[in-house]
């Protein structure tokens, strides 16, 4: 059995061919759209954040350790690795060498292609403890650096028209620099000697930036190309049990390993991506929440009109003994019903839209003949989404609160009406 106030509120909300009913429907639709759009946008922003973080941290380390001067090589890195591995939060350590090179393809027919990718030299024995690279090789290839072996990203291979077994020539930065220096002394009659490598595998780590700009070789080959001394590396990559403990672990390293090394966490190495995502997510929430504010004004308008139309009924109810509190709840209950319907339908619409988001995106792309999600810009191949319970709770709670607060003032004004004033002109 419904309370007196709720039963009367539901009776007043029954659909009728009146202006008030139209405004009520518009208010519900406004809340529905506001909640649905907010859920979709915030879930997609959370999806980008998680997707980028997982892809970046899957390929790269949680903490990188460089020499005191990051431009200098890290000498005797084996001793540093042993000290780092003693930390209980560390799950893996591996050295790497990084440098820019120039690659020339050597096709059986046609012209050679040139590019300047980032060469990464990895230790094949330990790289699996810090990176998904060894397990990301596409079928038909293998993770093999032996005898000048090379693995390249899938987007890079597509751009350079490379397949497993193809050979490429690699010119190091130092070779090109020496060639340019000697060219002036010999009137340009200088030929740079390149190292020949064989593509043994093609990887796909799920992040277009890495797939399109990185090639990987052994530590020894990378060390020769970069002209680094023996038993040296550019840095160490460290994998942690929890990436969000990176700052705390760095402080521990400074005490237990050495304060004279440079420690860079994943947040510091990618500050633009993650800080921009966080800022955009917050800004989108506040901007889109104004859709709900507009819907709330519709509720206010509806309730004020309704109170004016029901002035005679309010006077009669008060004459029969209804209290101001009961009148308040009659009209406030209507705002509650509008809020429940709008938020509930908006939640259902938002979850449905998220479930079919990629199908809808593909449909729009087929109609418009445009790529709405270019991987070179958004760094993903599909539209990601993560439904966070906290985000959903905040969105639905804030929308419902806005609906209730919108109806509070008209309901309060209705409760303040005196029977004499309400029935004066009747």
Q: Which residues pair with 232 in a beta bridge?
A: 75
Mean pLDDT across the chain = 81
Asked if pLDDT for residue 185 goes beyond 60, the answer is no
Asked if pLDDT for residue 265 goes beyond 70, the answer is yes
Reported confidence tier of residue 273, pLDDT bands at 50, 70, 90: low
Asked if pLDDT for residue 33 goes beyond 90, the answer is no
Over residues 401-425, the mean pLDDT reads 71
Cβ(63)–Cβ(262) below 8 Å? no
- pTM metric for this prediction: 0.68
Task: Tell me the pLDDT tens digit for each residue of 128-138.
Answer: 999 999 999 99
Task: Tell me the pLDDT tens digit for each residue of 231-243.
Answer: 889 999 999 998 8
Reported confidence tier of residue 193, pLDDT bands at 50, 70, 90: low
Distance CA 34, CA 315 (A): 36
Asked if pLDDT for residue 97 goes beyond 80, the answer is yes
Asked if pLDDT for residue 337 goes beyond 60, the answer is yes
Task: Tell me the pLDDT tens digit for each residue of 50-87.
Answer: 877 777 778 888 899 998 888 888 888 888 899 999 99
Reported confidence tier of residue 187, pLDDT bands at 50, 70, 90: low
Task: Tell me the pLDDT tens digit for each residue of 145-171.
Answer: 988 999 999 999 999 999 999 999 998
Boundaries of every domain in the chain: 4-54+273-423, 68-260
């Amino acid at each position: 059995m419904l309370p007196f106030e709720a039963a009367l509120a539901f009776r007043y909300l029954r659909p009728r061919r009146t202006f008030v009913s139209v405004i009520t429907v518009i208010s519900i639709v406004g809340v529905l759209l506001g909640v649905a759009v907010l859920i979709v946008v915030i879930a997609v922003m959370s999806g980008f954040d998680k997707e980028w973080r997982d892809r970046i941290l899957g390929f790269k380390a949680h903490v990188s350790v460089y020499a005191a001067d990051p431009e200098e090589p890290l000498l005797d890195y084996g001793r540093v690795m042993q000290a780092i591995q003693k930390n209980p939060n560390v799950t893996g350590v591996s050295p790497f060498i990084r440098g820019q090179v120039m690659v020339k393809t050597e096709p059986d027919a046609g012209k050679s292609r040139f590019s300047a990718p980032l060469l990464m030299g990895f230790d094949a024995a330990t790289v699996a403890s810090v990176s998904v690279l060894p397990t990301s090789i596409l079928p038909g290839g293998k993770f093999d650096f032996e005898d000048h072996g090379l693995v390249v990203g899938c987007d890079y291979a597509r751009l350079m028209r490379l397949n497993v077994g193809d050979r490429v020539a690699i010119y190091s930065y130092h070779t090109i620099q020496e060639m340019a220096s000697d060219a002036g002394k010999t009137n340009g009659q200088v030929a740079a000697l390149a190292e020949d490598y064989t593509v043994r595998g093609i990887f796909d780590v799920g992040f277009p930036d890495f797939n399109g700009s990185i090639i990987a070789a052994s530590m020894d080959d990378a060390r020769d190309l970069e002209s680094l001394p023996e038993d040296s590396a550019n840095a160490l990559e460290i994998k942690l049990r929890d990436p969000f403990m990176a700052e705390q672990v760095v402080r521990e390293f400074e005490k237990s390993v050495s304060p004279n090394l440079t420690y860079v966490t994943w947040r510091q190495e990618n500050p633009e991506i993650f800080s921009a995502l966080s800022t955009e997510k917050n800004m989108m929430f506040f901007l889109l929440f104004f859709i709900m504010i507009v819907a709330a004004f519709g509720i206010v308008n509806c309730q004020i009109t309704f109170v004016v139309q029901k002035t005679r009924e309010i006077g009669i109810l008060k004459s029969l003994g209804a209290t101001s509190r009961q009148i308040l709840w009659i009209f406030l209950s209507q705002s509650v019903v509008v809020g429940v319907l709008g938020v509930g339908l908006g939640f259902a619409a938002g979850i449905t839209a998220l479930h079919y988001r990629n199908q809808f995106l593909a449909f729009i792309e087929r109609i418009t003949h445009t790529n709405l999600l270019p991987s070179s810009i958004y760094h993903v191949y599909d539209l990601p989404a993560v439904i966070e319970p906290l985000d959903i709770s905040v969105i639905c709670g804030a929308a419902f609160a806005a609906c209730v607060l919108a109806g509070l003032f008209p309901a309060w004004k209705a409760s303040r009406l005196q029977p004499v004033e309400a029935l004066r002109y009747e």
